[in-house]
Each structure stands twice: as C-alpha cells, then as structure tokens.
Amino acid sequence: MSLRVRVEEVTEEGPGIRSLRLVREDGKDFTPYQAGAHIDVIGPTGVLRQYSLCSPPEDPSSLMIAVKREADSRGGSVALHEVQAGDFLKIGKPRNLLAIASTADKHLLVAGGIGVTPLLSMAYQLHSRGEDFELHYFARSRSEMSFADLLENRAEFRSRVVLHVGVPRAAQAELLASLTDALSEASHVYTCGPAGFMDQVVQVFAPSVGSENVHLEHFEAAEVETYGDSAFVVELDTGESFDVPADRSILAVLEDNGIDVFKSCEEGICGSCVSGLLEGEPEHRDNCLSKADKAAGNQIALCVSRARSEKLVIELY
C-alpha cells in the first residue's frame, strides 16, 4: 500500500547527493517510526527503490531521505535528482532492519559515505532517549560528507560526533580498534557504508562485542557463498505444495501459482518478502536478516534464498 507525498524541500547535501523532505499530500502527520528504518520510493519514472530515513523518528510532520546519484542508475536515483519542491512521489510504510538494541550499555555508530543516512536517524533517537552513543563518520573529503554541517553544529550532536576525513582504508582499522577500549560485551555497533568498509568494521569490533552485536545495513546485494542450485519443494502452512526448479526463486514460483507475496527489491536487501520458516534447512543468500535471525532458522527471504533440504515449509507474513 503506497502513500502519496509532496516534496516539501530539496537540499543539495554534497556532490551528487541531495536530501528530499517529504510531507503527506493530505496534510496529516506521519506515524512515528523506529530509527534505522527505510521506505520504498516510487519516483517520476515509476522505478521503485529503497531509501533510508534520516529525519528525527519522533517528528511526525515530515520524512527525509538522502539520494545519491548513481552512475549506473537504471532511472531511480537519476529521476529523484530531477524532482523539485512541489512534485509528488509515492512511498511505502517504513520497514526496519537496523533497530536499536534495547539492552545495550553503549551504542557506537560507524558510517562510511552515504551510509550515514540511517545512522543519523538513530543518533536522533538515541539522543532523545538519553542513551550513551557516539557517531564516527568516514569520508574521502569534507565536501563529500552529507549532513556534516548539521552533525557539527547541532547542539545534541557536537560532543558525540567525530568526522574522519581522508583516512585511507588501510589506516581505518587501527583507528577503529582504538575505540574498542570504551566498549563492553553489552555494547552494540551499527554500521552502514560500502561493503568493504562494513566488512572491516565487523572484523574490528566482533571480537570485542560479539558478532551478534554488530549490526549492518546494506544498500546493495553482496556476493555470498552458495552450494549450487538444485530443485526442491516449498510447502505453505495451508498445505499447498509447489516444485521450485533450480533456475527459479521461491518468490517467482509462488507468484506463478497465483500466491500474493509482498515484495520490493527482489535482491535480498529490503526484507519485504521475508516469511516464516516452519520446517527444513534454508540456504540464506540475503543481506536483510541478521546473523542471529539466520541462526534461529525460522525466517527466510523468498526472493533469493534456497533450500539445502528437499523441502521447506513456510508461513507467509
């Protein structure tokens, strides 16, 4: 279900990056969301993409997204770089895959480039709750930092934000390692940015806080190790059963048979098609479920993941 919104304000945040402040067409308030959430956005060309929310989650008057113009864009980011204040878009409800841990004694936010967007909303929420947090933001240059002025000048952020400008990838690990002394096993680390950057964050902090306490937000599908595609059976909790060929996804097979499944990116990133797993051994190929979720073995992303067992029994959400 989509909601029509008006672009209230457009701000150029840096080279190739702009923020869009969105308000409801009907003038009503949005429902407050949990920090770290993202939304589906349908632009002027009809292309659907996911963007993280970076506004204060408790402020219902508007929502804000930041859009980076991608060189190989298929029409999504390019179109959103052409919209102006007063134009209309359609958006979906916020979905959250990067929630703030309720039991953490300290929260460390580590951003790389445009990956600051979901972490900005988390900083707003953590401040409003009076929780202990720091935000470390890495970028190649000051001009490429989105929201840098806000982070430096907003009173509640000034003492909690450290901007790391021009630090080469080879030197980042040592810098990050210097932050581990202030963390405990009850601390949580949240990161978003390029895949290689996030891999480095995991390698540095997982030994200190545990891999289950390091949370990642992916903007793009990553290559994962697979064990070869083979056919298997998927059975719904209603009793209906379908054969899934080696060259078809669970999602595609269900749709071919008239089963309505909520979907969006179809790349294992957004989490729209995640469903319950009641029986069978999955082969997870997504970047939306956490390590803890995958270890629990009770959920599966239907668009990309497959089966290691001969049959999976699933429950559609």
Q: How many domains does the chain have?
A: 3
In this structure, what CATH number is given to the domain that contains residue 31? 2.40.30.10
pLDDT tens-digit profile of 4-40? 999 999 999 888 899 999 999 999 999 999 999 999 8
- Domain assignment of residue 223, yes or no: no
The CATH number of the domain holding residue 309 is: 3.10.20.30
Based on its alpha-carbon atoms, the radius of gyration of the chain, rounded to whole angstroms, reads: 20
Residue numbers of the domain that contains 190: 107-217
Work out whether strand 48-52 and strand 311-315 pair parallel, antiparallel, or are unpaired. unpaired
Comparison of pLDDT for 75 and 107, the residue scoring more: 107
> In this structure, is residue 101 part of a structural domain?
no
What Cα–Cα distance (Å) separates residue 99 from each residue in 86, 123, 191?
A: 32, 12, 12
245 and 151 in one domain?
no
Please indicate, yes or no, whether residues 76 and 33 belong to a single structural domain of this protein.
yes
CA–CA gap between residue 118 and residue 232 (Å, rounded): 37
Mean pLDDT of 275-279: 93
Q: For the residues 291-304, what does the mean pLDDT come to?
A: 87
Domain termination residue (choose one: 96, 116, 151): 96
- pLDDT at site 99: 87
Residue 152 has pLDDT above 90, yes or no: no
What gap in Å lies between CA 83 and CA 247, rounded to an integer? 38
Q: Each residue of 42-66: pLDDT tens digit?
A: 988 888 888 999 999 999 999 999 9
What is the overall mean pLDDT for the chain? 90
> What is the pLDDT, as a whole number, of residue 8?
97
Strands of 140-207 (E only): list them. Answer: 161-165, 188-192
Structure tokens at 148: 């840098």
- Strands 299-301 vs 274-279: parallel, antiparallel or unpaired: antiparallel
Measured distance CA(306)–CA(282) in Å, rounded: 6
Cα angle value 90/259/46 (rounded, 5°) = 20
For the stretch 203-233, pLDDT in tens is 999 999 999 999 998 765 555 555 568 999 9
